[in-house]
Amino acid sequence: MTKTIRPSSGRAAPPPDCPLDHCLRLLAGAWTAKILWYLCEEPRRFGDLRRDLGGITSKVLSSRLRELEAKGIVSREVIPVSPPQVSYRLTSLGKELRPVLDAMARLGEKAGQSSC
Amino acid sequence: MTKTIRPSSGRAAPPPDCPLDHCLRLLAGAWTAKILWYLCEEPRRFGDLRRDLGGITSKVLSSRLRELEAKGIVSREVIPVSPPQVSYRLTSLGKELRPVLDAMARLGEKAGQSSC
DNA sequence: CTGTATCCTTTTAGATACTG
DNA sequence: CAGTATCTAAAAGGATACAG
């Protein structure tokens, strides 16, 4: 994956709390913003996300999703069928990140990218 | 982290270049967004940034600044006085990141943070 | 299908010392 | 003041195998 916003790798920095800090914590990780981007559109299942994201391993995807769930950004719904289905969606808190993701996307499109 | 863009070998819907990718590359690193945030306000010298950022080492700050310079986001101006002064500012390209940074900051303030 | 468990590599950041 | 040079550590992610 390309480099991304990451949390400090060494020790934590003594924080002079910048208004960006909160958001940066939420979006930490190389895949997090992209995961949320796909979830903005509509709820998606684990396998869908994995395919959409192209290249993420199930270990990492699972890890990020649990992190987002713990932060209250994403909710997880298990549909008890066989084979099992699990659907992820943004919570209302998660939807508050849309302005950030949209701004990022607009920049990308401005810079001449294809759409997702 | 140079990822390994996966060659979309054969399969149906492989590797989407997501519109977020461009921005995520620009903001890579634990300190990058915050550095740009402070530079949004006004040009700043190396030592000012270091103080503003509270906790960054000169090694990392220097490294990130050179990276941003290479990407055309930040410009570096040396003022030949003694002791030397070096001032950094956003380029016009760098200013395009403002909407993203502003969206992040708004989220932080909404979540109840102190200002920078 | 939706994950977990290992093991390993890469990427950054922190600590510290030193220079023009 | 504005960096550079080393060295170390830790986090993140990748590969792979396997389970419910």
CA to C1' distance (Å), from A10 to D3:
21
Q: How crowded is the C-beta side of B74, counted as CA atoms within 13 Å?
A: 31
pLDDT in tens, A36-95: 999 999 999 999 999 999 999 999 999 999 999 999 999 999 999 989 999 999 999 999
What domains, with CATH codes, occur in chain A?
29-110 (1.10.10.10)
CA to C1' distance (Å), from A83 to C11:
38
Read off the pTM.
0.88
Cβ–Cβ < 8 Å for B52, A28: no
Give the distance, in angstroms, between the CA of residue A30 and the centroid of all CA atoms in the same chain.
Answer: 9
- Two tokens at A37? 């981007």
pLDDT in tens, B20-66: 999 999 999 999 999 999 999 999 999 999 999 999 999 999 999 99
Contact A104 B100 (CB under 8 A): yes
CA to C1' distance (Å), from A7 to D9:
15
Q: Chain B residues with CB inside 8 Å of A1's CB? A: 1, 3-4
Task: Considering all nucleic acid strands, name the nucleotide whose C1' atom is nearest to the C-alpha of residue A8.
Answer: C13
Q: Evaluate if the CB of A80 falls below 7 Å from strand D.
A: no
Q: Determine the Cα–Cα distance for residues B31 and A89; give it in Å rounded to an integer.
A: 29
